[in-house]
A and B are shown apart, each in its own frame.
Chain A
């Protein structure tokens, strides 16, 4: 595809990156990535930034510089908006090219700097930031090489996280609570975009995630979405939420319908006796072929429909929360959200979020966030940001927002 270039083909760069990364230990993968892609792209410097779980800060975790040995410079000065040292904050909402690249998930060329988003299979991981010599056209080599390898970089980083702590720890802005470690181990990726379907979700505050979990799966012509929020506090709430999620996943994978998924969670939570509490849930199944969905609303979650700048509360009968249900108490309901509109599920923490003057976060404020023209996949981050700002930085309880859209959709929001 870039036959005019006299350098290694994109495929050859991919192959050399893959073999170098597989030969390295997992914790060395970030440095291996820049050590291979720096020279291969013709850059004079290449940084790998990874985002924290709350999608607030980008942290530089590896740097390659022409003519310098690997690992040489992790704290030097910087002119291109790259954070000056590893672990130093670099705000996603900031003005730099790297921040914009991450927010908008587009390649940015700003003077001699090229920023390439690194995202794969629903994991929005970070940004590769390359600096090219002033005499070189970035479009000639750096841009295509980074574009051709970014997906592979994402896969390699995800794999590295599974077998080392280094990558995971260095992307974090805050130390996780034990409950948050539990929750992030069971959560799916925070977003998905496939033919005719988009899903995105985020728990705020991510490093303290306790009572809320979300789930989604896309298979052939079925979209499954779930939002669960456990009553109570701390590890007990985290354990209840995890048990309920495991039960729902188990039942779904066994081919059971939404009502039986909820009933399976009832059984599991009851069997655990005093060790667990109730779990509120919204369970959704959409037939992507027909565009029609069904849902079971068990307890507190808020169900909303967003279209053409307006947010509507969806009226669905509320059944008992998971752990409280009895035979025949729940039935699945038609999901009153048509194709191309956006289903919004919000945990009660969103509207329970209070300002320092004890003013609650309102549906109008949520609507303001949803109305702003942005990519649906970036919306949960913006909701989390709005809720956090409303609370003066500290959200009282897990505030989780899940968005989903299906049908013939174009990127952006309706």
Chain B
């Protein structure tokens, strides 16, 4: 999906999604776990998002201990990206045969149900995986 709004990389976008899903605030260490990256990578990732004004961070503390928070601009960027993904999917789906589209919808609903059941025991972060 080229031309994503805000020129966010997939991992930056995912970081914003994780923050939004956890109520807007998280420790860098917890972010690292949720994103499956080492703490130093999460720290660098957060620094880049702070530079862009999409995430805010208190000054003068250890980078890894500190809470980071998604900003209003970060939430707007997230919404724009979600809208762009929906729009792109709609455009592709519109070119499908109606029967195929119905099948796809049934298949996705089944997948989503199974995925939700599989996630329940952990019950932690509800983060959609990204397509690469």
**Is residue B6 within 8 Å, beta carbon to beta carbon, of the partner chain?**
yes
A208-B71, A210-B73, A233-B73 given; A173·B59 CB < 8 A: yes
Contacts of A175 in B (CB 8 A): 50, 56-59
Given the known interface contacts A174-B57, A178-B51, A207-B56, the answer about A395 and B73 at a Cβ–Cβ threshold of 8 Å is no
Contact of B59 among A172, A178, A233, A234 (CB under 8 A): A172
How long is the Cα–Cα vector from A132 to B58 in the complex, in angstroms?
A: 34
Which single residue of chain A is at the shortest CB-CB distance from B76? A233
- Most chain-A Cβ atoms within 10 A of its Cβ — which of B24, B71, B76? B71
Distance, CA A397 to CA B75, complexed state (A): 12
Q: Which residues of B contact A86 (CB under 8 A)?
A: 60
Bound Cα distance A402, B13 (Å): 36
B53 touches A172 (CB 8 A): no
Is B6 in contact with A234, judged by CB distance below 8 angstroms? yes
A210–B76 Cα distance when bound, in Å, is 14
CB distance from A51 to the nearest CB of B (A): 13
A308 to B121, CA, bound (A): 63
A173 touches B73 (CB 8 A): no
Contact of B50 among A169, A170, A173, A177 (CB under 8 A): A177
| A180-B72 in contact (CB<8A) | no
Residues of chain A in range 352-389 having any CB-CB distance to chain B below 8 Å: none
Task: Please tell me if A20 contacts chain B, counting CB pairs below 8 Å.
Answer: no
Chain A residues with CB under 8 Å of B59's CB are 87, 169, 172-175
Interface status of A49 (Cβ within 8 A of chain B): no
B83 on the interface (CB 8 Å rule)? no
Known pairs A233-B73, A396-B72; A210 contacts B58 (CB<8 A)? no
Task: Give 1 or 0 for each of B64-84: 1 = CB within 8 Å of chain A CB.
Answer: 000001011100110000000
Q: Please tell me if B132 contacts chain A, counting CB pairs below 8 Å.
A: no
A395 to B71, CA, bound (A): 9
Q: Assess whether A234 is in contact with B72, with CB atoms less than 8 Å apart.
A: no
Which of chain B's residues has its CB closest to A87's CB?
Answer: B60
- For A, the interface residue count at a CB cutoff of 8 angstroms equals 23
List chain A residues, Cβ under 8 A from B73: 208, 210, 233-234
Choose from A59, A87, A169, A234 the contact partner of B53 (Cβ within 8 Å). A234
Partner of A87, one of B52, B61, B72: B61
Which residues of A lie under 8 Å from residue B71 when comparing CB positions? 208, 394
Q: A85: nearest residue on chain B (CB-CB)?
A: B60
Most central of B6, B53, B69, B77 by chain A CB within 10 Å: B53
A247 on the interface (CB 8 Å rule)?
no
> A180 and B53: CB pair below 8 A?
yes
Contacts of B51 in A (CB 8 A): 177-178
Bound form: Cα–Cα A207–B59 in Å: 11
A234 to B80, CA, bound (A): 14
Chain B 63-110 residues near chain A, CB threshold 8 A: 69, 71-73, 76-77
Chain B: minimal CB distance from A390 (Å) = 13
**Alpha-carbon separation in the docked complex, A179 to B53 (Å):** 7
Q: How far is the CA of A177 from the CA of B61 in the complex (A)?
A: 17
Q: How far is the CA of A179 from the CA of B71 in the complex (A)?
A: 14
- List A contacts of B58 (CB < 8 A): 173-175
Contacts of B61 in A (CB 8 A): 87
Residue pairs across A and B with Cβ atoms less than 8 A apart, 24 shown, are: A87-B61, A169-B60, A170-B60, A174-B56, A174-B57, A175-B56, A175-B57, A177-B52, A177-B53, A178-B51, A178-B52, A207-B56, A210-B53, A210-B73, A233-B73, A233-B76, A233-B77, A234-B6, A234-B52, A234-B73, A394-B69, A394-B71, A395-B72, A396-B72
Chain B interfacial positions (CB closer than 8 Å to A):
6, 24, 50-53, 56-61, 69, 71-73, 76-77
What are the 7 tightest A-B residue pairs by CB atom distance, in nearest-first order?
A: A177-B53, A87-B60, A396-B72, A172-B59, A178-B51, A175-B57, A208-B53
List the interface of chain A (C-beta within 8 A of B). 59, 86-87, 169-170, 172-175, 177-180, 207-208, 210, 233-235, 394-397
